[in-house]
Amino acid sequence: MNHHLPEISVVVPLYDEQDNISELHRRLTGALSPMGPSYEIVFVDDGSRDETPRLVDEAAACDPHLTIVHLSRNFGHQPAISAGLAHARGRSVMVMDGDLQDPPEVIPQFVARWKQGFDVVYAIRRHRKEGAVKRMGYFVFYRLLNAISDLNIPLDSGDFCLMDRRVVEVIKNLPERKRFVRGLRTFVGFRQTGLDYERTAREAGRSKYNFSALIGLAVDGLVSFSSYPLRLVTYLGMTTATIAVGLTMWIFMDAFYQRTAPRGWASLIVVVLFMGSVQLISLGIIGEYIRLIFLETKERPNYIVDRYRPAAVLLGNESSVTEEAASASSRDVTR
C-alpha cells in the first residue's frame, strides 16, 4: 500500500479564474485539512490569459498541498480535466469546477461514501442557479442523451465527482482522444452512487461556455455515446420507401378505376419518392459501416474486470487463496 500517496486529490480546471482562486484555495483547504494532512489539490491552468497562472504559482509557493499543471494553451474544459486526472496522485480523486459552483464543503460527504466502498460518487444537481434557457437546455440534453445513448448516464450529473484510484487508472488508459468525462465515468462501471447537492451560482467572472460551446459539448456527448443518429437515416429511408410503395398502389388503383389525379403526376411522385428512399437507405448502409469504424477507432474495452478470483486448484496451494483474502480485507481497512 502506498502510504506516501495522498488519500485524496482534488482536480480543478481553471481558465481565466483570477477572481476565484484565493477564495477557492481558502475554501478547499478549509474542507480538506480537517480530514487529515493527506490531501492534494491539483490546479490545472488551461492556458489562462489573465493572472491565473501567476496566482496559482504563488499559492503553490506557500502551500505544499498544491500541485500545478500549466497547459501550453487553452485546450478546453474536458481536456483540462483529463490533464488533471493524469497528474493527480491521490488514492481517490475528485473533480470540481473552479468557479465555486461546486461547493468544496460537500467534499467530506463524497469521501465518506468512498470509505463505505463506492468507487464512483457523482454529484446530482438538485437545483441550478442559472438562467431559465440554460436550465432548460441542460434538462433536455440529459434526457435526450439518456434516451438515445447505449449507457444510462445518470441524469443531471456533471463532472463533479469522486473516483477511486482504480477507476481513474481505467479512464486514463482508455485510448479514446475526445473525452466526454462524465460519459466515460459511467462507461467504466464499478460501484457508483449519486449524491445530491445544490449547484450555486458562479462566484466571480463569466461562464466560459457560451451557447455554441455548450451545443458543441452536447453534440460531442451525444455523438461519442450514441450511434442512434446514424440509424435514424436508415429508419427514415425505410419510412419513405413504405410511403412510396403505398402511394404507388394507390396511384395504380386511381389510374385504372377513377382517374382523379392529373396525368403525369403519378409517375413523377413515385419516381421522386422512390429515388429519395433509395438514397436514404444507401446513406443508412454507409452509416452502419461508419458506425462500426467509429466504434472500433474508440478502442473501448469490451469489458472491465472488477474482481478476479482464480480457482484454488489453479493456484496449486491453498495458502495463496487466504493471502488474497487477507490483502483484500487490508484494502478495506486502509480506506
Q: Is 13 in the site for ligand UDP (CB under 6 A)?
A: yes
Contact with ligand UDP (CB under 6 A) among 7, 46, 119, 164: 46
Q: Based on CB atoms, which residue is closest to ligand UDP, 33 or 207?
A: 207
Q: Based on CB atoms, which residue is closest to Mg ion, 107 or 170?
A: 107
Residue 30: CB minimum distance to ligand UDP, A: 19
Which of the residues 205 through 264 are near ligand UDP (CB under 6 A)?
207-209
Do 23 and 17 meet the contact criterion of CB atoms below 8 Å apart?
no
Contact with ligand UDP (CB under 6 A) among 9, 43, 76, 225: 76
Do 49 and 17 meet the contact criterion of CB atoms below 8 Å apart?
no
Q: What φ, ψ does residue 287 adopt, rounded to 5°?
A: -60, -40
For CA atoms 229, 231, 235, 238, the dihedral sign is positive
Q: Based on CB atoms, which residue is closest to ligand UDP, 133 or 313?
A: 133
Contact with ligand UDP (CB under 6 A) among 67, 82, 101, 192: 101
Residue 39: CB minimum distance to ligand UDP, A: 19
Distance (Å, rounded) from C-alpha 84 to C-alpha 13? Answer: 7
| CA–centroid distance for 105 within its chain | 23
- For residue 331, give the C-alpha cell: 484494502
Q: Which residues contact 167 (CB under 8 A, 6 or more apart)?
A: 119, 120, 185, 188, 190
Contact with ligand UDP (CB under 6 A) among 21, 69, 80, 107: 80
Do 120 and 170 meet the contact criterion of CB atoms below 8 Å apart?
no
Q: Based on CB atoms, which residue is closest to ligand UDP, 97 or 119?
A: 97
Which of the residues 84 through 143 are near Mg ion (CB under 5 A)?
97, 99, 101
Category of 149 on φ-ψ map: left (φ > 0), alpha (ψ -120 to 50) or beta: beta
Which range of residues in 9-17, 84-92, 162-170, 180-188 is near ligand UDP by CB under 6 A? 9-17
Q: Is 74 in the site for ligand UDP (CB under 6 A)?
A: yes
Q: Is 17 in the site for ligand UDP (CB under 6 A)?
A: yes
Do 64 and 33 meet the contact criterion of CB atoms below 8 Å apart?
no
Question: Which is nearest to 279 in space by CA: 229, 306, 240?
Answer: 240
Residue 213: CB minimum distance to Mg ion, A: 12
Q: Is 102 in the site for ligand UDP (CB under 6 A)?
A: no
Residue 217: CB minimum distance to ligand UDP, A: 8
Kindly list the residues in this chain that would bind Mg ion in the complex (CB under 5 A): 97, 99, 101, 202
